[in-house]
Amino acid sequence: MRMIKVGVLGASGKMGAQTCLAVQDAADCELVAQLGRGDDLAELTKAGAQVAVDLTRPEAVMTNLQWCIENGIHAVVGTTGWDEERLATLRSWLDAAPGVGVLIAPNFSIGAMLMMQFAAKAARFYESVEIIELHHPDKVDAPSGTARRTAELVAAARQEAGSVPIPDSTTDELDGARGAQIEGIRVHGVRLRGLIAHQEVLFGNEGEMLTIRHDSMSRVSFMAGVLLGVRRIVDTPGLTVGLEHFMDLS
């Protein structure tokens, strides 16, 4: 079995600690470095890391990635907040480092990826679609980022297919009853003690419905996605944005 030497950046955070455990448990991975804030990135090269998993923050990640790419270390990145400018900078660094791969994966949940991909594929076959996301009541934003992303994917698929507008005869609405709109898709956010992170995408035609639901209960569930990223990035030079590209779904 091929062994992959992995270093974790942001190893003392919750996701970082979980990732260290997951790498240690994986039969084909070896945890060679755990770096926290202030630690020297050179520990990665000293330890012979082939892949760095970056679970730090948007303000630290670019410095980390530049160093990794220059030193020929592949990276799997879980931070959010990527825009075109940052991605362009990354691409330019990667152009200068043939053979090095970087995966940007703002969502490591394989189940959430499947839900979104399936929703996008189902979209053009249905007249109606709505999204319900359900989370614990300590969440500050509504709707969730996953719901927003799902709505965008569904809306794009409908537009590409030339779908007619979603039927809705509501004329007498109590403010907010029909949810928020994201690119024409209605999204409802439920907040309930006892929930963790859940989402349903409901599709409907005359006489039939299709529902895709994902329930995410713990950080552990992201580890399959992190390891998938680690295993695939060593053979995928250049920039990959989105874990779905490593899932061979089509």
**DSSP assignment letter at 221:** G
Spatial separation of the C-alpha atoms in residues 233 and 239, rounded to whole Å: 9
* Overall residue count recorded for the chain in this entry: 250
CB-CB contact of 239 with 104 (8 Å): yes
146-175 positions binding a copy of itself, by CB under 8 A: 166-175
In the complex with a copy of itself, which residue's Cβ is closer, 31 or 203? 203
CA 159 to chain centre: 23
Spatial separation of the C-alpha atoms in residues 184 and 182, rounded to whole Å: 5
| Residues binding a copy of itself: number (CB under 8 A) | 74
The span of 63-71, 75-83, 105-113, 232-240 binding a copy of itself (CB under 8 A) equals: 105-113
Listing from the earlier edge strand, what are the strands of the sheet with 51-54?
Answer: 29-35, 4-9, 51-54, 74-77, 101-104, 238-241
In the complex with a copy of itself, which residue's Cβ is closer, 63 or 80? 80
Catalytic residue among 5, 74, 135, 188: 135
183-242 positions binding a copy of itself, by CB under 8 A: 186-195, 202-221, 224
Cα dist from 168 to 38, 102, 165, 173, 185, whole Å:
55, 43, 9, 11, 11
Active site residue 121: no
In the complex with a copy of itself, which residue's Cβ is closer, 48 or 81? 81
Give which of 105, 93, 74 is closest to 7, Cα–Cα: 74
CB of 135 to a copy of itself, least distance (A): 10
Identify the residue among 102, 129, 153, 154 touching a copy of itself (CB under 8 A).
129
The span of 1-9, 86-94, 180-188, 233-241 binding a copy of itself (CB under 8 A) equals: 180-188
Active site residue 74: no
The span of 39-47, 62-70, 120-128, 232-240 binding a copy of itself (CB under 8 A) equals: 120-128
Binding of a copy of itself at residue 80 (CB under 8 A)? no
**Which positions are annotated as active-site residues?**
135, 139
